[in-house]
Amino acid sequence: MKDFLCLLGLIFIIEGLPYFVFPEKLKIYLIKITAMPESTLRFLGISSMIVGLILLYFGRR
């Protein structure tokens, strides 16, 4: 559980960095995301989950 909480904290830090460092560019980026087709967003989502699983597998090995 301790490792999980550390990982969750790191995720929040990494996710929050763009909002803190580049707020004006992030607004433009989010507008572009809303214009993307849902199929592209789903592909990006599944791709990042697969990469995450692979990294987890090799990190725990």
Write down how long the chain is.
Answer: 61
Residue 30 is assigned to a structural domain of this protein: yes
- What pLDDT is stored for residue 49 in this prediction? 94
Residue 40 is assigned to a structural domain of this protein: yes
Cα distance between residue 48 and residue 57, in whole Å: 14
Cα distance between residue 24 and residue 38, in whole Å: 24
- What pLDDT is stored for residue 11 in this prediction? 93
Residue 7 is assigned to a structural domain of this protein: no
Total structural domains within the chain: 1
| pLDDT, tens only, 18-47 | 999 999 999 999 999 999 999 999 999 999
Structural domain range at position 43? 23-61
Residue 15 is assigned to a structural domain of this protein: no
Residue 58 is assigned to a structural domain of this protein: yes
Residue 18 is assigned to a structural domain of this protein: no
Residue 43 is assigned to a structural domain of this protein: yes
Asked if residues 42 and 50 have their Cβ atoms less than 8 Å apart, the reply is no
51 residue type, one letter: V
Asked if residues 9 and 1 have their Cβ atoms less than 8 Å apart, the reply is no
Residue 49 is assigned to a structural domain of this protein: yes
